[in-house]
Structure 1
C-alpha cells in the first residue's frame, strides 16, 4: 500500500508538472506588453468586449495618454448575443474623446445567415444611436465560419451592412484563417482589412502587414492604472481613424508571412 501511495504521488506530481509546463509555453507565446514600452509599435487603438468590464472614462483617458486614438467595441455575436457592457464602454470612450467603431463576432456559414447576422448587428447599432458614419467591423475568425465560399459569405454580410445604411466597413481576420479558408482579402480592399498576428518580440522597426489597414500586434497589453489586458493595434490608414473614406479599391498583393506566431485562442470574443 505504501508503495502504491508513492506511485500515485509521483503520477500526480508528474501531471501537475506537465500542466505547469503547458501553461508556461502558452503564457510565453504572446508577450506581455506595458503601454509605452520602448521600441514597441504604436497603440493607435484598442478593442474591447465584455471581458474588459465596465471601463470608465478615466480608464480611456489613461489609454489616450499612451497614444490610443480609438476604441472598437464588441457589440454582437451571431444572432443571439449582445455585449452587456457595450453601451457603457462606448459612452466612456466617447467621453474621453476617442473615435468609436463596433464589431460583430461572425458565426455565419452561408450568404443567407450572413445577411441575418448583418441585420441583427445593425439593429443594435441603430438602437445605440451610432451614426451611419460609424465603422462596422466583421470579426471573421470563428471555426464555425469556415464553411462554403467564405469570401462570398463575407461579401453578403458587407453588402447587407451597406444596404442598411452603413458604408464604412472593416474585416478583421488573420493569416491562419486566410490560409485555411482561401478568403480573398483583395475583394474587400486591403485598407479595409484589420489583420491579427502576434510576434514573439514586437518592435517598431519591424512592422508587419503594412499593406493592410491595421495590424493587431498584441493581445496582452496593460495600461498602468487600468485593470486587465487589452488587444492593441497600429493603424496604417484604415477607415476607422480617418474621418471619412469610401470603400477602398486597393489591390496590393499580400506579402508573404514568415516566422509568425498566431494565437489560436479567440481574443476578441467575450460573452
Structure 2
C-alpha cells in the first residue's frame, strides 16, 4: 500500500525439474495488508547468465495478518555483582526491531533512574546490559520497563518485572584513577603503591596509536599496576577518518590487548583528540565500536574533550553512544592542580562514565592526568 517501500528480493528453491518455490513472509513487508505485486526473474543461460524478466504475476491479496509482541526476557541476573541482561527477541510473527530503550530504577522517586538504549540487533535479538553502577550503586529492588520501536516506527512498552541488585562495593564511588602513556616511562610497583595510598585505584594504559604504534612501556606498566592491586584499563589513540580505518584501528588495538594478556572484560577506550576525525565522526565511531564488539571487547568508553560533545556544542553524539559511555576532559582550573576533594564537590559530568579534571597532578615526579570515576568501570 506504499508502493515499493517494502520491495524484497527472494531467492527461490528448485522443487522439481521445472518448478521453483519461495515462501513470502509478511514480516519482511511490515505486515501490511492489501494487494502484493509479484514479479519473477531468472538467469538466462542463453544470454550470458544475464538476469531477465520471466513473468509478471497476478500477485495476491492479504486481508489480515498476525502480529505478535517480541519476547522480553531478563537473563544473567547476578544480584551480588549488581548486573543483569535484558534481551528482546523477534520471531517470524513480530515486526523488525529498530531500537530498544530500557528504563531501570529502584528509588520510589526515580532519583536513580537510568535509560539504556541500543539500535544493535543481531539475528533478531537486542541485548542491553544493566549495571547497578549506573544507578548510583544503590542496593535495592529494580523495576525494569522496556520500550521498543519497530522499523515502521511503531512504539510499544513492556514491564519486565522487578529484580534485586545488591552489590555493596559500588557504594564506595566515586573513585579516582590516572591515565598513562610512554611519556610516563616505567612506573615501579613501589610507585604504584604510593599512588594507591593517595587514593588512586585505577590506571588506563595507552596501548596503541593508529595502526603502527605500540607503547613500549605498556607491558611493564600493566604488570606493575596489577602487582600493586590497581585496576588496569587500556586506551587507543585514534586517527581514523573512515569506517574502514576505524575497523583496522580497532583490530590493531584488540591484538595488542590480547598480546598483553588483557581479557575481553577490560575497559577499552577510544581516545579522540585529532581534529581531522571530526568529519563524519559519529558513523566512524560507530564502526569502531561495532568492530570492537565483534572482536569480543565490548566494554568500550569514548574519551574526548568536552567541546567535542553535542552537549557542549560539538559534533559527537552523546545520545547515539550513551553519555554513560563517555570519559570527558575539562580542566576547570586550567593548568592549576584540582585536588580530589574539590573534583568530587564540583561533580562535573557526573552522568558520564568519568571526568578528567587535571593534567598536572604531582603525585609522582612527572605530571599525571587525574580522573574521577562515577560508575566503577575504571576502579572496581
- 1:100 paired with 2:240, answer no
Structure 1 residues 109 and 181: alpha-carbon distance in aligned structure 2, compared to 1, 3 A threshold: farther
Which runs of structure 1 show a deviation greater than 6 angstroms over 4 or more consecutive aligned residues?
none
Of the three residues 368, 372, 376, the one matched with 1:230 is 368
Of the three residues 206, 225, 239, the one matched with 1:74 is 206
8 Å CA contact retained: 2:357, 2:371: yes
Identify the residue that residue 137 of structure 1 maps to in structure 2.
269
Identify the residue that residue 347 of structure 2 maps to in structure 1.
207
Q: Could you tell me how far apart the structure 2 residues matched to 1:84 and 1:191 are?
A: 31
- 1:159 paired with 2:290, answer yes
Q: Could you tell me how far apart the structure 2 residues matched to 1:230 and 1:216 are?
A: 11
CA deviation map 1:102-159 (0-9, x unaligned)? 0000000011110010011111111111111111000011122122x21111111111
- 1:120 paired with 2:237, answer no
Identify the residue that residue 170 of structure 1 maps to in structure 2.
301
Q: Could you tell me how far apart the structure 2 residues matched to 1:235 and 1:65 are?
A: 17
The structure with the greater share of residues assigned to strand is: 2
Gapped regions of structure 1 (runs ≥ 5): 1-41, 243-271
Secondary structure class of the residue paired with 1:205: helix
Identify which of structures 1 and 2 has the higher relative contact order when contacts are C-alpha pairs closer than 8 Å and 6+ apart.
Answer: 1
Secondary structure class of the residue paired with 2:316: coil
8 Å CA contact retained: 1:191, 1:238: no
Structure-to-structure mapping, 1:247-262, within 5 angstroms:
none
Identify the residue that residue 196 of structure 1 maps to in structure 2.
329
Gapped regions of structure 2 (runs ≥ 5): 1-173
Shift of 1:205: 2.2
The structure with the greater share of residues assigned to helix is: 1
Identify the residue that residue 259 of structure 1 maps to in structure 2.
none
Secondary structure class of the residue paired with 1:231: strand
When the two structures are aligned, how many residues end up with a matched partner?
198
Q: Could you tell me how far apart the structure 2 residues matched to 1:189 and 1:168 are?
A: 13
TM-score (norm 1): 0.70
